[in-house]
Structure 1
Amino acid sequence: MCMALLGSAESRLFIDGTLSAGHAGTFPTVNPATEEVLGVAADADAADMDAAIGAARRAFDDTDWSTDVELRVRCIRQLQQAMRDHVEELRALTIAEVGAPRMLTSAAQLEGPVADLSFCADTAENYQWTTDLGIASPMGMKTHRTVAREAIGVVGAITPWNFPHQINLAKIGPALAAGNTLVLKPAPDTPWAAAVLGELIAEHTEFPAGVVNVVTSSDHGVGALLSTDPRVDMVSFTGSTSTGRAVMSDGAATLKKVFLELGGKSAFLVLDDADLAGACAMSAFTAAMHAGQGCAITTRLVVPRARYDEAVEAAAATMGGLKPGDPNDSGTICGPVISARQRDRIQGYLDSAIVDGGRFACGGGRPADRDRGFFIEPTVIAGLDNDAKVAQEEIFGPVLTVIAHDGDDDAVRIANDSPYGLSGTVFSGDDERAARIAARLRVGTVNVNGGVWYSADMPFGGYKQSGIGREMGLAGFEEYLETKAIATLAN
């Protein structure tokens, strides 16, 4: 496998069952912890994407993939087993290319999403594809009614760089299990994490040619073709809200279905009866994990005004101790951010916090002891209200803004005062009180007193500008299905 990260490693496109070079040549993939070039990825152009879409269209229209549940289940399990067999190579790839801390590769960065493929296969195997509604007499006509669930068709999957295995597989798994064919366009920052799927499918599975296509490209415009091409029936996109708007707009021309999992600015609410120090420590730990590069990470810590200074101190004590480190080290929590561009973007937000009258309780810039790598210190911002730029916009870095509230109603108001609605957390000494607050949050997922919502059978998605639809769980599987009503005249 070229993914062994040896020397001049080079990945290829996977189109119509064949591994091939890109018409635009190659582009580099970089280790964000060291700034070293790991190797190159095939660089696709519009012609390559056209070929991939054509292959997926033919595989859906001209083969029995969409109706052969047994084959689909077997192929998904073969891919899962191939990833398990090569898990250490994949772990090395993920740490090097994504900058993911080693500890996270045992969870959501690798092993977790590989295990989640079982849910996709099991769901397809046991799903009720048709429902018999029995006989009725609408308009006086005795009729036998059936509802069938069928694959949508060709799915274009566009994915980001922060948790590439999790997001790639959360789209590929249910889309294929539901009977669709697929073109995957990953982010240019992490092409190998996607390209390796093409290699594993080619070498270790029975997927028919054209069912899965992987198109890596340095050009975001190549991925945008999935939204405009009439041969694509659905686009499943995870990324920024601004790009999500463009995907939705482009898809409108052909009225294709669009799934969007977008940004977040989630709030961690600490009520006045909570263990303040424990809650603030957990909030800080969460915000620093993987350098804060998670759309559902709670980046606003909302605490009782009377204990504001104490909360800031507690959060800073934890966050200040989570020094940016080598993602290869087993104890690293906060690795690098993905690129120099992203590091500079985060620094711009930090600078804006000072301009707006805030202060840093810890962090605030690049670590002094690291002259290589795209690192940012875990940072706690204090002294600002919820209308500050750093409290309203998604930063996507290890940055936590502490905001004061004046009671439960005010805490809920602050949490909901956001264009986003992806996630939230409530901490209280009273579970029932916390549950009442959780019910008032306009978000798609809520952590109550430390509960974990991430699971293969739990739907994930957001309200408002955090997206449309749900990924994972039965709801995520059914995103990739059409509903057909069949009425047969009964004797």
Structure 2
Amino acid sequence: MGSQDTTAQVADTGEAGGAGTARAAGRRLLIDGRLVDSERRLASLNPATGEFLADAPDATTAEAEAAVAAARRAFDATDWSTDVEFRIRCLNQLHRALTEQREDLRELTIAEVGAPRSLTHGPHLDEAIEIVRFYADLLEEYPLTEELGEIESRGRRHRRWVEKEAAGVVAAIVAYNFPNQLALAKLAPSLAAGCTIVLKAAPDTPLITLALGELIAEHTDIPPGVVNILSSSEVAVGEVLATHPDVDMITFTGSTATGRLIMAAAGRTIKKVFLELGGKSAMVLLDDADFATAAMFAGFMVCSHAGQGCAITTRLLVPADRHDSVVEQVAATMAGVPFGDPADAKNFMGPLISERQRDKVDAMVQRAVADGATLVTGGERVDPGFFYSPTLLANVDPDSEIAQEEVFGPVLAVIPYADEDDAVRIANNSIFGLSGAVFSASDERAIGVARRIRSGTFSINGGNYFAPDAPFGGFKQSGIGREMGRAGLEEFLQAKTFATVVA
């Protein structure tokens, strides 16, 4: 679910309307088991209206240092990292608290993130909560010890085994687009592994992440210092987390540009690094595909959460002789996508997160048209709020900016190809490799094409791979490592090999 953001900038947003606004304004940082405020404040806007919602804490570097110190102390001086049964109990408590507070969290997510209500019943909230359940259950049966057997060496028998232990103190930095899913996909496995964590909210959507801190402090037995949650506008706060010698691991979801900076900063102290970064995924329509179904799928997919998802397929590759007819079908779909107030269940698409992001999307569309792409539908700002109409660009050059750079808006680029080999070449013509899709009358043929495209996830004829038990991550500059699934737990573990003389 990676995205656009900056390493350390954290703004604060609130909840629209009445009592919700009051609750939002009361959000606090979680540091060393205490819910604390900060002298500095941040203002935030509702992306669906552009209006002020609330202000919230703006943590300083001193507070970031205090959070790291608390996490270090909790890891080194308590039995959190070794008490598996206690960790399972705490994860179950967290899951129960999230479930009980689900509806309040839903309304806050809609107001702060601009997430359509329907998507909060999926990856924006309900499915995200189940990540916690998955790791609580996985920890009950995951083998933290592996016997390697005995060997004979220097005339004696030696027993050898491997134990998995927590990686240590984790700094987690999340993006704005799916803040519940991103936070819980880092928080749950790191806690299951026995790590302690400093979680830094995204610049535009910190309130929902700060709400997790309140649930942890008030509804679980997770010890002080094990989880610390910050929001801040200071770039220096992110730098503290990325470079601090007491941080053992960084897990980051955001833009590839920021990921490069994170990786370089972490290299100063050789930290373990997980990166889930950008994408420019291709959907390939093979010549035997059901074009009507595929066109509808492509049109709705790029409008999901207004295109603010790194795994969304934003390049549509079609046979050259079917280009115009497919464009016509996709355009009809996109023109009919209902968008507007995300609280209204009838709307499929909500706003972009900010005016800044809308400016970026619009500028990229205008440059694409200037570079020769055909604007078929959309390309319009819609007020109030930060809405951008579903946008279709045809006859796109596969080497152009719009085909190479992540837009993070509801913009689909249609690219014609000559044959199957050409389609694979175009799909792989990218620094990214996060996801992809292929449509064909033959699953076998589609899978064959998918295996030739370098990406970490792939949808065959509309198949959904995204779930708590499925590893998610990318090839190339889309990232390092995997989130969720057993692989997601193992990112937060270190292997230690033992041997003892038995005879």
TM range (shorter): over 0.9
Aligned 8 A contact 2:68 2:246 in 1: yes
Matched, 1:356 2:368: no
Aligned 8 A contact 2:307 2:411 in 1: yes
CA deviation after TM superposition for structure 1 residue 458, in Å: 0.6
Output the TM-score relative to the length of structure 1: 0.97
| Letter aligned with residue 400 of structure 1 | L
Q: Which residue of 1 aligns with 2:42?
A: 27
| Letter aligned with residue 32 of structure 2 | D
Q: Which residue of 1 aligns with 2:392?
A: 380
Q: Which residue of 1 aligns with 2:441?
A: 429
Output the TM-score relative to the length of structure 2: 0.95
SS where residue 207 of structure 2 aligns? Answer: helix
Aligned 8 A contact 2:279 2:478 in 1: yes
Greater relative contact order (CA < 8 Å, ≥ 6 in sequence): 2
Aligned 8 A contact 1:29 1:191 in 2: no
Q: Which residue of 2 aligns with 1:473?
A: 485
Matched, 1:440 2:452: yes
| Letter aligned with residue 22 of structure 1 | S
SS where residue 93 of structure 1 aligns? Answer: helix
Q: Which residue of 2 aligns with 1:192?
A: 207
Q: Which residue of 2 aligns with 1:9?
A: 25
Q: Which residue of 1 aligns with 2:138?
A: 123
| Alignment partners' CA distance in 2, 1:93 and 1:139 | 65
| Alignment partners' CA distance in 1, 2:410 and 2:435 | 17
Residue from 474, 478, 502 that aligns with 1:490: 502
Q: Which residue of 2 aligns with 1:174?
A: 189
What is the alpha-carbon root mean square deviation over aligned residues? 1.1
Q: Which residue of 2 aligns with 1:162?
A: 177
| Alignment partners' CA distance in 2, 1:215 and 1:40 | 14
Matched, 1:96 2:111: yes
Q: Which residue of 1 aligns with 2:358?
A: 343
Q: Which residue of 1 aligns with 2:409?
A: 397
| Letter aligned with residue 242 of structure 1 | A
CA offsets 1:283-323 (integer angstroms, 9 cap, x no match):
11000111000000000000010010001111111111114
| Alignment partners' CA distance in 1, 2:301 and 2:153 | 56
Matched, 1:255 2:270: yes
CA deviation after TM superposition for structure 1 residue 221, in Å: 2.6
CA deviation after TM superposition for structure 1 residue 9, in Å: 1.9
CA offsets 1:298-352 (integer angstroms, 9 cap, x no match):
0000001001000111111111111431101102111100001000000110111
Matched, 1:332 2:344: no
CA deviation after TM superposition for structure 1 residue 388, in Å: 1.1
CA deviation after TM superposition for structure 1 residue 6, in Å: 2.8
| Letter aligned with residue 33 of structure 2 | G
Matched, 1:409 2:421: yes
- Shift >4 Å, 4+ stretches: none
Residue from 266, 273, 276 that aligns with 2:288: 273
CA offsets 1:83-117 (integer angstroms, 9 cap, x no match):
11111110110000000000000000001010121
| Alignment partners' CA distance in 2, 1:394 and 1:141 | 59
CA deviation after TM superposition for structure 1 residue 118, in Å: 1.1
| Alignment partners' CA distance in 1, 2:235 and 2:279 | 22
Number of residues of Structure 1 aligned to a counterpart in Structure 2: 486
Aligned 8 A contact 2:459 2:465 in 1: yes
CA deviation after TM superposition for structure 1 residue 139, in Å: 4.3
* Identity of matched residues, %: 54
User: Where do 1:316-331 residues align within 5 Å?
Assistant: 316-331=331-346
SS where residue 274 of structure 1 aligns? Answer: coil
CA deviation after TM superposition for structure 1 residue 138, in Å: 3.2
Aligned 8 A contact 1:268 1:425 in 2: yes
Matched, 1:235 2:250: yes
Q: Which residue of 1 aligns with 2:300?
A: 285
SS where residue 224 of structure 1 aligns? Answer: helix
CA deviation after TM superposition for structure 1 residue 135, in Å: 1.4
CA deviation after TM superposition for structure 1 residue 220, in Å: 3.1
| Alignment partners' CA distance in 1, 2:236 and 2:429 | 34
CA deviation after TM superposition for structure 1 residue 391, in Å: 0.4
SS where residue 381 of structure 2 aligns? Answer: coil
Aligned 8 A contact 1:280 1:301 in 2: no
| Alignment partners' CA distance in 2, 1:333 and 1:392 | 27
| Alignment partners' CA distance in 2, 1:256 and 1:9 | 35
| Alignment partners' CA distance in 2, 1:139 and 1:110 | 58
| Alignment partners' CA distance in 1, 2:421 and 2:391 | 28
CA offsets 1:222-260 (integer angstroms, 9 cap, x no match):
122111001000000000000000000000010000000
| Alignment partners' CA distance in 2, 1:148 and 1:11 | 40
Matched, 1:65 2:63: no
SS where residue 252 of structure 2 aligns? Answer: strand
Q: Which residue of 2 aligns with 1:246?
A: 261
Aligned 8 A contact 2:338 2:346 in 1: no
CA deviation after TM superposition for structure 1 residue 365, in Å: 2.0
Residue from 436, 458, 472 that aligns with 1:460: 472
| Alignment partners' CA distance in 2, 1:258 and 1:68 | 25
Aligned 8 A contact 1:10 1:39 in 2: no
SS where residue 263 of structure 1 aligns? Answer: coil
